[in-house]
Structure 1
Amino acid sequence: MEQLTDLKAILHSKRANIYYLEKCRVMQKDGRVLYLTEAQNENQYWNIPIANTTCLLLGTGTSITQAAMRMLAQAGVLVGFCGGGGTPLLMATEIEWLTPQSEYRPTEYLQGWMSFWFDDEKRLSAAKQFQQARIRFMHRVWHKDRDLQQAGFRIDDVDIDSLLKHFSAQIESAESVTELLQCEARTTKQLYKIAVNRIGYGDFTRERDAEDLANAFLNHGNYLAYGLAATTLWVLGIPHGFAVMHGKTRRGALVFDVADLIKDTLILPWAFICAKENATEQEFRQQCLQAFTDHKALEFLFDEVKNTALTGSFES
């Protein structure tokens, strides 16, 4: 029992690592979870600090032992299978999430979520609360991130400041989720234009199937954000189907709602910066993960979802 307590000592919102592994074997050895890679002359073992790990993504050419899964479950690590490079993730049918089975999961957040979710007006208020939090996060990050500022993403620039103020006013005046989604789409489209102008990227049209670097990096970065959102919701025990923005017909819609809190702030600018610098996919992924850590993105998602769940008695 002491071992189990030790493994869960670090809160998920404070954990530092998201591991993506490929072409290796994950196993348990001497009370630790390791991954084994095949070198030219000898096999090499590498330790995974599971107590400080949020989720483990297993890419192409990986296998995992039952003993390793047992230890990962004890540590509360979310394990998933994915394609090469960590994608596709969550939005594709070939993904299988293996969640640790435990009766001791929080119930207060789901109960709080249900206290408002069946009321259309209260659900709209929750959606507005999410969107305002999204703006606050952008203000906080772009105000202090010198790398983004040097690239031209300064929160006090006239066009950015005006866009966010207008978006904030539209959020408050929106009378339906559909109207709110339209306001959000227009704002993100304007942010794309601002990013293109700041970076000098050239012609750009947002298309998920396009092959240019900016679109590819946006897709990749968004998947990473979906991973953080899914982890947050799993730990708090809120099913992905109880969305406040993206509709009740999409099984993982709440993942998209939560991921939107950080996508425009962190993924969007770095996708264009890295595309302009002709970065590799791995370099872009490392930049995103570093940004998540620097700005405590996972902790922010936890705080906002918990706050919405526990203060869900919105005025109708």
Structure 2
Amino acid sequence: MDTLKPKDLKAILHSKRANIFYLEHCRVMQKDGRVLYLTEAKYENHYYNIPIANTTCILLGTGTSITQAAMRMLASAGVLVGFCGGGATPLFSGAEIEWLNPQNEYRPTEYVQGWLSFWFDEQKRLVVAKEFQKQRIEFIKQIWSKDKQLHEFGFYADEVDISQAYTSFQNKISKINTVNELLLAEAMMTKQLYKAAATRCQLSFERNHEAGDLANNFLNHGNYLAYGLGATTLWVLGIPHGFAVMHGKTRRGALVFDVADLIKDAIVLPWAFICAKEEFTEQEFRQKILQKFTQYQALDFMFEQVKNASQHFQVRTA
């Protein structure tokens, strides 16, 4: 069997890759030039191929191990690897985003240089944070306006309670003077969207990461999948995860949260409630979220927004 060369593994741009894998109770290894995972059954073992050239990140859950040779191949393909708890949450350690990033120092420098050109100015960071929130709202409006599956469950962008939630936030953005004010206003919008979603799905709901009900579990699970896309976007563009514009700047992975927020409300939020109502399994929910990420080109959208932000002040002052 022919082995793959590193140059072949980068044929699919990260922004176009479709796969995120969550694995548990298996061993990840390299065999015949491929990355496989091995599951042990009572009478025989099963090998499954991981298409690493079309994969953004891999989450290794309970009972997993990975070989050095497999890590080398994953790194050559630019695949991020994260260790996590059961059901893909939380990433270890739980309070931060922890990824094993491929060691590649030959990525573009223009984006990190553009990012750092404004990052040390608090007011400029606020401008970028506001722009992220505006784009977040636009993404909600775009998807909730045209997704017929969401419409079947009553999620329409122009419904009074939904439009009021994001319009109220949108109107406040230009008047906000600090990141803390922006965080509070953003949290209020998300809380209103939770209420709208719970009403449509006839669920009693209060956001609690430790609650253990399906809606909360699916929100946690979907958010961590979004963090995987955010971490991949930042790694490819060469921007360290610590240079956040909105979330706590003392948290090493805070910029991952900023970038993931661009898509979480639009995709993860409604489907967490819908799948909870329909009593999906974790695997069924994960497949639905990954399908929607691909359908609405979530990774492309993240790349576009981060690249635009890194060049924002350079363009304005050129």
Shorter-chain TM band: over 0.9
Residue 242 of structure 1: CA displacement? 0.8
SS of residue matched to 2:103: coil
Contact kept? 1:192, 1:268, Cα under 8 Å: yes
Residue 94 of structure 1: CA displacement? 9.3
The change in CA–CA distance for 1:80 and 1:163 in structure 2 (over 3 A counts) is closer
- C-alpha distance after superposition, 1:8-38 (max 9, x if no partner): 1111110111111122222222211111222
- C-alpha distance after superposition, 1:126-179 (max 9, x if no partner): 001000000111111111111111111101222222332221111111111111
SS of residue matched to 2:27: strand
Residue 247 of structure 1: CA displacement? 2.6
1:282 counterpart residue number: 283
6, 27, 30: which is aligned to 2:29?
A: 27
Contact kept? 2:28, 2:70, Cα under 8 Å: yes
Q: Is 1:128–2:130 an aligned residue pair?
A: yes
Tell me the distance in 2 between the aligned counterparts of 1:257 and 1:214.
22
Query: In structure 2, what residue type is equivalent to 1:279?
Result: F
1:51-62 aligned within 5 A: 51-62=53-64
Contact kept? 1:113, 1:312, Cα under 8 Å: no
17, 20, 27: which is aligned to 2:19?
A: 17
SS of residue matched to 1:215: helix
Contact kept? 1:20, 1:57, Cα under 8 Å: yes
Structure 1 segments unaligned to the other structure (5+ residues): none
- C-alpha distance after superposition, 1:224-275 (max 9, x if no partner): 1112111211111111111111132222111111111111111111111111
Q: Is 1:219–2:191 an aligned residue pair?
A: no
1:144 counterpart residue number: 146
1:1-316 aligned within 5 A: 3-89=5-91, 92=94, 97-201=99-203, 203-313=204-314
CA-atom RMSD in angstroms: 2.0
SS of residue matched to 2:81: strand
The change in CA–CA distance for 1:246 and 1:314 in structure 2 (over 3 A counts) is farther
Tell me the distance in 1 between the aligned counterparts of 2:152 and 2:112.
42
TM (norm. structure 1) is 0.94
Contact kept? 1:82, 1:94, Cα under 8 Å: no
Tell me the distance in 2 between the aligned counterparts of 1:59 and 1:179.
36
Query: In structure 2, what residue type is equivalent to 1:157?
Result: E
Query: In structure 1, what residue type is equivalent to 2:218?
Result: F
Tell me the distance in 1 between the aligned counterparts of 2:119 and 2:97.
28
Tell me the distance in 2 between the aligned counterparts of 1:162 and 1:63.
48
